[in-house]
Structure 1
Amino acid sequence: MTTTTAWRADPYDCALRTGRGPLFLRRHDGWLLPLEVERWCQAPDRADRSVLDRCRGTVLDVGCGPGRLVAALAAGGRPALGIDISPEAVARTVRLGGSALCRSVFEPLPAEGRWDTALLIDGNIGIGGDPAALLGRLRQVVSPSGCLVAESAPVDVDECCEVRVDDGRGERGAPFPWARVGTRALARYARRAGWDVSEQWTLEGRTFLSLAPQSSAAARA
């Protein structure tokens, strides 16, 4: 089963409909990563606002989830689009007043190569289970003068594995590839994919990197 199909199945959509967890990513060995559904379904917090403050121009939120960031940008008159492979995530984003498409980042996207800012927040560096491929894809999506704001895992980790969405009550989704990368690993993948780290900050226990496309000369070096 594809990653796209997995995220369209319960229990993920069920959690977004109710705005409540518990919800986890379950690794094959039984290890559970809690997913912060309640926070995702609330208004942006202080850490989120630090991300929004760094957005400029047109903004693409990759894996927008229930849409709090897209809706906040739209409320401020900022041009923003969310993409997510979950129909429920897209529907909730639209209900909040944001614009969203049910689309994978690896599918054709509107305005490719012209986005001023792209966001990979809430663990979305894990999309596809291959951070190098994801960051390389976003080099095609973001403009040469744009930026990418990515959130890293709160621990020093570099892991690609197969997981399932699990509600902790016996309901599990289909397996799909996922990745978790800490700050050092994210910076390393970014440089290999043609990005430079222009800023790093931590707030509310969350760490973010702002990435800028490397110049052509630097990318060839």
Structure 2
Amino acid sequence: MTEVAEAAAWTGSDDPFGAAIRAGRGPLWLREEDGRRHPLEVERWCGPADAADRRMLRRCAGPVLDVGCGPGRLVAELLDRGVPALGVDLAEASVRRTRGLGAAAVCRSVFAPLPGEGRWRTVLLADGNLGIGGDPARLFARVARLLAPGGLLLVEVEPADLDERIMVRVEDVQGRQGVPFEWARLGAAAAARHAGQAGFTLRERWDERGRSFVALRAGH
């Protein structure tokens, strides 16, 4: 049921997320049941890779799988660097925009069968995508199966020390909302702890322009 709800949140033709991605701008939020809102940085995602992105991407060895690739800026930047990469995203609008940049992407859940399973040298979980499915342990275990032995997982985490599961809806400036779905928000310590249960080892942690990242090495 979680995957069905999450797919519905990102894939409708008139959903707030799809509309924002097609327009290339927000504002857009994830709204919790208690009313708290977390901004989604649509303009940044629809723009070119920035300094924080490039610092993360310098660590990538190809081929790279970008999970939750959004409008495709990271996949496009990797291809410009000559690094083979594929994006995967549930949102049809995101996949279309990624392909419009000349990059490759598939419209699919990360939990569905994917090309190259067990052969990816790097997997990306940027822009809050560690929250996918609302179950970090399950997501880390899935990524471990996607990576080649000794592969690298690069994760953008919350700057704060968080480890929470929340129910959210995508909401636009006019108050229109998508369907509810489960999400997660983790800081670096929580991410490393959950990743360790899937056989990952924390190799590096850094901050750049208000964003926080960790690099995790697969143990198999």
Identify the TM-score tier after normalising by the shorter chain: over 0.9
- Write the letter of the residue equivalent to 2:178: G
1:85, 1:99 → 2: CA distance? 14
TM-score, structure 1 as length reference: 0.95
Distance 1:145 1:181 in 2: 23
Q: Is the 8 A contact 1:75 1:97 kept in 2?
A: no
Asked whether 1:212 is paired with 2:202, we answer no
Note if 1:187 corresponds to 2:192: yes
Which whole-Å deviations, capped at 9, do the CAs of 1:5-32 have from their partners, x for residues lacking one?
1111310000000110000000001100
- 1:111 matched to which residue of 2? 116
Percent identical pairs in the alignment equals: 54
The DSSP-based 3-state class of the residue aligned with 1:2 is helix
Q: Do structure 1's residue 6 and structure 2's residue 9 form an aligned pair?
A: yes
Matches within 5 A, 1:49-60: 49-60=54-65
- RMSD over aligned Cα, in angstroms? 0.9
Rounded to whole Å, the distance in 1 between the matches of 2:175 and 2:151 is: 43
1:91 partner amino acid: R
Equivalent residue in structure 2 for 1:86, among 81, 84, 91:
91
User: 1:65 aligns to what?
Assistant: 70
Q: Is the 8 A contact 1:154 1:207 kept in 2?
A: yes
1:39 counterpart (37, 44, 51): 44
CA shift digits 1:155-200 (9 cap, x unpaired): 1111101100000312100000000001111111111111000111
Give 1:63's aligned amino acid. Answer: G
Q: Distance in 1 between matches of 2:162 and 2:89?
A: 25
Paired residues of 1:162 and 1:175 also in contact (CA < 8 A): yes
Equivalences, count: 215
Q: Do 2:150 and 2:219's aligned partners in 1 also have CA atoms closer than 8 Å?
A: no
Q: Is residue 136 of structure 2 the alignment partner of residue 135 of structure 1?
A: no
Report the counterpart of residue 25 of structure 1 in structure 2: 30
Structure 2 Cα separation of the partners of residues 112 and 199 of structure 1: 25
Alignment partner, residue 218 of structure 1: none
* 1:76 shift after superposition: 2.1
C-alpha displacement of 1:145: 2.1
Q: Is there any run of 5+ residues in structure 2 with no aligned partner, and where?
A: none
The superposition leaves residues 69-107 of structure 1 with CA deviations (integer Å, 9 ceiling, x where unpaired) of: 001111222110000000110000000111000011000
Quick one: which of 163, 168, 172 aligns to 1:167? Answer: 172
Whether the aligned pair in 2 keeps the contact of 1:25 and 1:32 (CA below 8 Å) is yes
